[in-house]
Amino acid sequence: MSVVTLQVDGRDVAVPARATLLQAIRAAGLSVPTLCHLDGLDPVGACRLCLVEVEGSQRLLPACATEAIEGQRIRTDSSQLQNFRRMAVELFFAEGNHVCAFCVANGNCELQDVAVAVGMDHSRFPYQYPQRSVDASHPRFSLDHNRCILCTRCVRVCDQIEGAHVWDVAERGSHCRIVAGLDQPWGEVDACTSCGKCIDVCPTGALFTKEDATAEKHPHPERAGQLRRAREQHQWTP
């Protein structure tokens, strides 16, 4: 197996060829905040929280979706990056209708986690209060679009792990939203196997089991990685 060596925040690190910058950052014993990334799912670089500076590049690159290159030098925690990350998290809060007080995911929410990680104590951007809906047509689960951050984990887990491809992304800009089937009520989509993987990987309270009330959602985002390892490496490590 060929190896790539690079520098992360001045630390030398070696990773297998075709590894991502995020894997290199972790191999160096460091971390960057992530939200759309989930071990076991193909990266999309949607949330922009893992942006890093790469020496010689004018652009910031998403660590989760960028391949590590021999001799590269990257920075993960400059004041510019810290500023952009906090701004990105503030925009997530301002863009949707995130009211922690009565959310099923309160206390178990990755959006709350990254807010702490980037030091967000308030949003500089006025909240938008967009008009969004709730789809409760499925017998066991609900989708509250108010809490969706469009990370597309549900889309990817359903396609790549479950193989049902119930979810997709429709429209653009502030109208962008997750749709079930051919933009149908979730409960009418025959392809859904009711496996619950989308509930487990959703980082917020957007997808949840109907019996969960405030702060009662206990997701299992690690399941995607476990299933992927079981399938590809024949190892089951729950």
Partner 1 sequence: MATVWLAGCSGCHMSFLDLDEFLFELADLAEIVYSPVASDTKIYPDQVDVCLVEGAVANVDNLELALTLRQRTALVISFGDCAISANVPGLRNLFSAPGRDSAQTVLERGYLELADATGQLPHAPGIVPELLPRVLPLHEVIPVDLYLPGCPPSAERIRAAIEPLLHGEKPCLSGEAMLRFG
Q: Which residues contact partner 1 (rule: CB under 8 A)?
A: 93, 97, 99-103, 106-107, 109, 112, 115-116, 119-123, 126-127, 129, 131, 215
Q: In angstroms, what is the minimal distance from the CB of 111 to partner 1?
A: 9
| Residue closer to partner 1, measured from CB, 159 or 216 | 216
Amino acid at 193: T
Q: Residue 191 phi/psi, 5° resolution?
A: -65, -20
CB-nearer residue toward partner 1: 62 or 96: 96
Check: CB of residue 40 under 8 Å from CB of residue 227.
yes
Dist. CA 95–CA 117, nearest whole Å: 19
For partner 1, the closer of residues 64 and 103 by Cβ is 103
- Measure the CA–CA gap between 43 and 24, rounded to whole angstroms: 15
Query: Which residue number, 104 or 166, has a Cβ lying nearer to partner 1?
Result: 104
| Degrees, nearest 5: CA angle 42-51-207 | 50
Cβ-based nearer residue to partner 1, 93 or 208: 93
CB of 103: closest distance to partner 1 in angstroms? 7
Least distance (Å) between residue 102 CB and partner 1: 7
Q: What are phi and psi of 94, to 5 degrees?
A: -70, -25
Collapsing DSSP states into helix, strand and coil, what is residue 11?
strand
Q: How far is the CB of 216 from partner 1 (least distance, A)?
A: 13
* Cβ contact 150:176 at 8 Å: yes
CB of 34 to partner 1, least distance (A): 17
